[in-house]
């Protein structure tokens, strides 16, 4: 089974999280911890780069929902970038594009803060 | 390509193409061909609707165009306008008895309301979009800008065009419907995947917080909601188990607990509506209540606030969330059972340890003493009662016998007993009197335990050659001495139980142990042994037993028979306490 990895890179005041592998119910706690770490440091401008993510399930999307309120309440946002077609389809099916900003590339996402 | 087709057509029919009229006709034909290719290669409804208005408008200098599609009955929806106010878009017009052929509004005599509507919009020519003889819609155009009437050829041309368009529109509509169907299918698949995934994942999670966390992720991801909380029934009380989102701080959630009994009659999700009985829930901004069912009984609820996209909950999603809730409930129940089993195993393990501690503290063998028959036994209860007896040989002449009962059960009792044993053995080595030893043990136990822990304790020192003995009884069941004449002496002298007061003075008792005497020490497991009717075995039965059998049996046989008698008395009723006997006979 494909593992899941998340890597945090700080670019100025924007935190970029690079996801790779499978984000499903099993690996969700890992991603949750990574986001929690970032938010604990009061870094509320977050871009999640999906370039190397092969799969996301509803539980994976749940993590975004779980944090977005706190992040926005602190004047930040979670923006998404570099979604593969397959990953985008899940976001689209569940109605996420109405709630989250989704960009083709990371640079663009960063520039929207 | 179309131009070259037109070019080659001209080339081949050069001679026939003499009049402008024909030339124009040819152009029209080629335009139709072009359009039909364009329209049929597109599945984009908007672009088709645009083309069927714009192409004629451009060719014939028409300033207004309108497109309508038939909905149910005779309702036609305005789906495209050119040169007409956009306000008309999406409006519905009732159009009855529309003919199957083009019509000119100014020449159409009838009092249908819709005729007036088109007149008002200055639409002159109306063409039905016929597909398989069925009216799928209507396109309409204004008069020409040059005020010339539409010629038959022009109407023919537009009529052909609308027939081609009808086919294309039908295709595009089909395609859109298919897309919609596909999407809802994909959504269903996504739901199923989520259920499958969480089912698989929950099988590996055996703690309630873990289950609730997984449930919350699936809920948030699939339902677009991050305002919710979960209530579970624990020990027949409703308790808040999880809450998420700023709408539902703990205090708000707890207000709902009082509704739960009433809601437990639910057998499917409840959409909170304006009915007065739900006003309490509505005030708390709860929009959906999902019962969590296990074996037909509601054991929990998910209360959901508004979705993040502010859309209402979809009836179709309720099935999903209900299944999700029930899967989670089963896992929570399993987690509870597993915790219980683990707890039970842990207790069992602890008791085993306690039992082995107790076992090791009891004397490993009975010393052989000339002229004396000594036997001790301990039958630990399931809970390990904390009974203790000991035989300590001080020198050739003197032996100490002791029996004790530590309050409480299991590990704490075993540890306290171990304390007592260590203290006793240390103190016996010094030259203290029994009263001093008991007093020091009392202090030791008092220091090392809380007030509710205590020990009943009896200690006796026997001079084997003379038969003289002294003893201290610190609140223990008084041992009995049975004399050959069947009389009984109780050994009562002493003082308070060990461990409840810091400084206690203990009195010593003295006596003489003669040939034929039997000394029986026992714990309250004997006197408080219970029959199925909850009657105690009691001191009286002990004395009766002692009198009946004491003179006839060896210490070992006496003890074993007493245990047998107790078993009979209990009649299989499980005993809560250890049974300990220490019997000494002087031969």
Residue with token string 């030339």: B23
Q: How far is A60 from chain B (nearest CA, A)?
A: 7
- Which residue from B216, B222, B244 is facing A94, i.e. has the nearest CB? B222
Given A28, A90, A99, which is nearest B190 (Cβ)?
A: A90
A98 vs chain B: nearest CA distance in angstroms? 7
Judging contacts by C-beta atoms under 8 Å, the chain B residues touching residue A73 are: 246
A62:B186 CB<8 A: no
CATH number of the B42-176 domain: 3.30.450.40
DSSP state of B575: P
Distance (Å) from the C-alpha of residue B290 to the closest C-alpha of chain A?
18
Strand order in the sheet with B228-234: B237-244, B228-234, B297-304, B288-294, B270-271
Is B466 in a helix, a strand, or coil?
A: coil
Q: What are phi and psi of B394, to 5 degrees?
A: -85, -40
Cβ of B218 within 8 Å of Cβ of A29? The answer is no
ipTM of the complex: 0.86
Residues on chain B touching A57 (C-beta within 8 angstroms): 193-194, 197, 221
CB neighbours of residue B363 within 10 Å: 13
CB atoms within 10 A of CB A36: 13
Mutating which of A24, A36, A58, A100 best tests the B interface, going by the most B Cβ atoms within 10 A?
Answer: A58
d(CA B494, CA A47) in angstroms, rounded, equals 80
CB contacts of B313 in chain A (<8 Å) are none
Residues from chain A that touch B314, judged by Cβ atoms under 8 A, are none
Q: Is A29 on the interface with B (CB under 8 A)?
A: yes
Tokens 């016996």, residue located:
B428
pLDDT of residue B1: 41
Q: How many helices (DSSP H) and strands (DSSP E) are in chain A?
A: 4, 5
Going from the C-alpha of B41 to that of each of A82, B47, B123, the distances in angstroms are 32, 11, 29
Measure CA A13 to chain center.
16
pLDDT of residue B575: 78
- Give CA–CA dist A71/B464, Å, rounded: 85
Flag if B190 and A93 touch (Cβ within 8 Å): yes
Inter-chain CB proximity A93 and B187 less than 8 Å: yes
Chain A, nearest residue to B223 by Cα: A94
Which residues of B have a CB under 8 Å from any CB of A? 183, 186-187, 190, 193-194, 197-198, 200-201, 204, 213-214, 216-222, 224-226, 244-246, 308-309, 311
Residues of chain B with CATH 3.30.450.40: 42-176, 205-338
Residues of B in Cβ contact (< 8 Å) with A65? 220-221, 224-226, 308
CB contact under 8 A, A24 and B216: no
CB contact under 8 A, B218 and A59: yes
Angle between helix B208-223 and A28-40 (nearest 10): 80
Query: Which of B201, B246, B309 lies nearest to residue A26, judging by beta carbons?
Result: B201
Describe the strand order of the beta sheet including A4-11 as a list of residue ranges: A4-11, A14-23, A45-56, A77-81, A102-103
Nearest to B194 among A29, A57, A98 (CB): A57
Query: Rg for chain A (alpha carbons), in Å?
Result: 13
* Closest partner CB to B224 (pick from A29, A59, A99): A99
Round to the nearest angstrom and report the end-to-end CA distance of chain B. 132
Cβ neighbors of B53 (< 8 A, separation 6 or more) are: B65, B66, B67, B80, B82, B139, B141
Q: Which residue of B has its CA nearest to A89?
A: B186
pLDDT of residue B2: 44
Pick among B205, B217, B314, B328 to test the A interface (most A CBs inside 10 A): B217
d(C-alpha B243, C-alpha B514), whole Å: 77
Determine, for residues A73 and B246 on separate chains, whether the beta-carbon distance falls below 8 Å: yes
Closest partner CB to A58 (pick from B186, B200, B221): B221
Give B193→chain A minimum CA distance, Å.
Answer: 8
Task: Look up residue B429 and give its two tokens.
Answer: 């080595």
Check CB contact of A63 with chain B, cutoff 8 Å. yes
Task: Tell me the CATH number of domain B363-586, given options 3.40.190.10, 3.10.20.310, 3.60.40.10, 3.60.70.12.
Answer: 3.60.40.10
Of A66, A73, A93, which has the smallest distance from its Cβ to B220's Cβ? A66
Strand partners, B498: B455
Please check whether residue A68 touches B, CB under 8 A: yes
DSSP string, B379-437: E--TT---EEEEEEE-SSSEEEEEEEEESS-HHHHHHHHHHHHHHHHHHHHTT--HHHH
Q: Output the six-digit token pair for B141.
A: 């155009």
Distance CA B550, CA A73 (A): 85
From chain A, pick out residues whose CB is under 8 angstroms from the CB of B309.
95, 98-99
Of B198, B225, B308, the CB nearest to A25: B198
Extended strands (E) in B83-149: 92-94, 103-104, 125-131, 134-141
- The predicted-structure confidence for A74-103, as pLDDT tens digits, reads as follows 999 999 999 999 999 999 988 899 999 999
CB within 8 Å of B553: residues ≥ 6 apart: B561
Q: How far is A107 from chain B (nearest CA, A)?
A: 26
One pLDDT digit (tens) per residue for chain B, 587 residues: 444 555 665 666 666 655 666 777 777 777 777 777 777 777 788 888 888 888 888 888 899 999 999 998 889 999 999 998 899 999 999 998 888 899 998 888 877 889 889 999 999 999 999 988 889 999 999 998 888 888 888 888 888 888 888 888 888 888 889 999 998 888 888 888 888 888 888 888 888 999 999 999 999 999 999 999 999 999 889 999 999 999 999 998 888 898 899 888 888 899 998 888 888 888 889 999 999 999 889 999 999 999 998 888 988 789 899 999 999 999 999 888 988 898 899 888 888 888 888 888 888 888 889 999 999 999 888 777 789 999 999 998 999 999 999 988 888 888 889 989 999 999 988 889 999 999 999 999 998 887 788 999 999 999 999 999 999 999 999 999 999 999 999 999 999 999 999 999 999 999 999 999 999 999 999 999 988 888 999 999 999 999 999 989 999 999 999 999 999 999 888 777 889 999 999 99
Residue A25: per-residue pLDDT: 86
| The 3-state secondary structure of B425-458, one letter per residue | HHHHHCCCCHHHHHHHHHHHHHHHCCCCCCEEEE
Q: Cα–Cα distances in Å, from B425 out to B100, B390, B419, B582?
A: 117, 10, 10, 18
- Considering only CB atoms, A62 lies closest to which of B186, B190, B220, namely B220
Q: What is the DSSP letter of B105?
A: G
Phi, psi of B102 (to 5 degrees): -60, 150
Tokens coding A109: 């996402």
Contact B570, B530 (CB under 8 A): yes
Q: Distance (Å) from the C-alpha of residue B337 to the closest C-alpha of chain A?
A: 23
Count of all residues that appear for chain B in the document: 587
Pick the CATH number of A4-111 from 2.70.150.10, 3.10.580.10, 1.10.1040.10, 3.30.750.24: 3.30.750.24
DSSP for residue A95 = T
Compute the CA torsion angle B413, B415, B420, B424 (nearest 10 deg): 140
Looking at domain B205-338, which of 3.50.40.10, 3.30.450.40, 3.40.1160.10, 3.30.300.170 is its CATH number? 3.30.450.40
For β-strands B92-94 and B75-82, DSSP reports them as: antiparallel
Angle at A65 between CA A62 and CA A71, to 5 degrees: 140
Q: Which residues of chain A have pLDDT under 70?
A: 1-2
């Amino acid at each position: 089974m494909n593992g899941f990895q998340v890597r945090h890179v700080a670019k100025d005041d924007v935190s970029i999280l690079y996801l790779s592998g499978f984000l499903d119910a099993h690996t969700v706690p890992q991603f949750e911890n990574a986001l929690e770490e970032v938010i604990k440091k009061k870094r509320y401008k977050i871009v999640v780069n999906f370039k190397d993510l092969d799969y996301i399930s509803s539980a994976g999307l749940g993590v975004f929902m779980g944090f977005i309120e706190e992040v926005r309440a602190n004047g930040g946002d979670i923006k998404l970038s570099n979604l593969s077609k397959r990953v985008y389809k899940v976001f689209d099916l569940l109605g996420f594009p109405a709630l989250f900003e989704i960009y083709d590339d990371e640079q663009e996402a960063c520039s929207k803060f | 390509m179309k131009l070259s087709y037109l070019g080659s057509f001209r080339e081949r029919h050069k001679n026939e193409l003499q009049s402008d009229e024909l030339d124009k006709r040819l152009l029209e034909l080629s335009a139709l061909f072009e359009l039909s290719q364009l329209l049929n290669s597109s599945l984009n409804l908007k672009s088709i609707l645009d083309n069927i208005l714009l192409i004629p408008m451009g060719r014939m200098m028409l300033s207004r165009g309108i497109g309508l599609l038939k909905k149910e009955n005779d309702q036609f929806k305005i789906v495209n306008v050119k040169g007409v106010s956009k306000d008309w878009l999406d409006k519905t017009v009732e159009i009855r008895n529309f003919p199957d052929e083009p019509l000119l509004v100014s020449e159409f005599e009838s009092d249908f309301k819709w005729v007036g509507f088109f007149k008002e919009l200055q639409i002159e020519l109306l063409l039905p979009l016929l597909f398989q003889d069925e009216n799928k819609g209507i396109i309409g155009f204004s008069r020409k800008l040059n005020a010339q009437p539409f010629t038959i050829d022009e109407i023919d041309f537009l009529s052909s065009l609308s027939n081609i368009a009808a086919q294309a529109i039908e295709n595009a509509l089909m395609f859109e419907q298919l897309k919609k169907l596909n999407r809802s299918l994909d959504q269903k698949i996504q739901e199923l995947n989520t259920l499958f995934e969480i089912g698989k994942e929950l099988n590996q999670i055996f703690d309630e917080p873990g289950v609730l966390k997984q449930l919350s992720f699936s809920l948030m991801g699939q339902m677009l909601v991050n305002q919710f909380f979960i209530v579970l029934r624990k020990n027949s009380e409703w308790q808040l188990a999880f809450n998420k989102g700023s709408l539902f701080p703990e205090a708000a959630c707890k207000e709902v607990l009082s509704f739960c009994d009433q809601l437990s009659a639910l057998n499917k999700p409840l959409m909170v509506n304006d009915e007065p009985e739900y006003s309490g829930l509505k005030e708390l901004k709860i929009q959906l209540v999902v019962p969590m069912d296990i074996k037909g009984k509601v054991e929990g609820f998910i209360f959901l606030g508004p979705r993040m996209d502010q859309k209402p909950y979809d009836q179709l999603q309720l099935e999903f969330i209900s299944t999700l809730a029930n899967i989670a409930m089963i896992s929570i129940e399993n987690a509870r059972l597993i915790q219980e089993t683990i707890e039970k195993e842990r207790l069992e393990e602890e008791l085993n340890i306690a039992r082995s501690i107790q076992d090791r503290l009891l004397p490993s063998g009975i010393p052989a003493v000339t002229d004396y028959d000594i036997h001790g036994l301990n039958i630990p209860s399931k809970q390990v009662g904390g009974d203790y007896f000991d035989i300590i040989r001080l020198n050739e002449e003197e032996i100490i016998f002791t029996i004790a009962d530590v309050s409480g059960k299991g590990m704490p009792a075993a540890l306290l007993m171990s304390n007592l044993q260590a203290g006793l053995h240390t103190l016996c080595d010094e030259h203290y009197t029994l009263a001093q030893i008991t007093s020091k043990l009392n202090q030791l136990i008092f220091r090392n335990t809380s007030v509710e822990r205590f020990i009943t304790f009896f200690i006796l020192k026997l001079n084997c050659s003379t038969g003289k003995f002294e003893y201290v009884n610190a609140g223990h069941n008084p041992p009995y001495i049975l004399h050959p004449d069947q009389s009984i002496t109780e050994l009562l002298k002493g003082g308070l139980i060990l461990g409840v007061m810091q400084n206690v003075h203990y009195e010593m008792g003295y006596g003489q142990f003669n040939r034929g005497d039997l000394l029986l020490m026992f714990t309250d497991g004997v006197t408080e042994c219970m029959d199925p009717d909850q009657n105690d075995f009691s001191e009286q039965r002990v004395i009766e037993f002692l009198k009946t059998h004491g003179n006839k049996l060896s210490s070992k046989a006496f003890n074993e028979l007493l245990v047998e008698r107790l078993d009979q008395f209990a009649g299989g009723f499980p005993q809560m306490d250890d049974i300990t006997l220490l019997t000494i006979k002087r031969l």
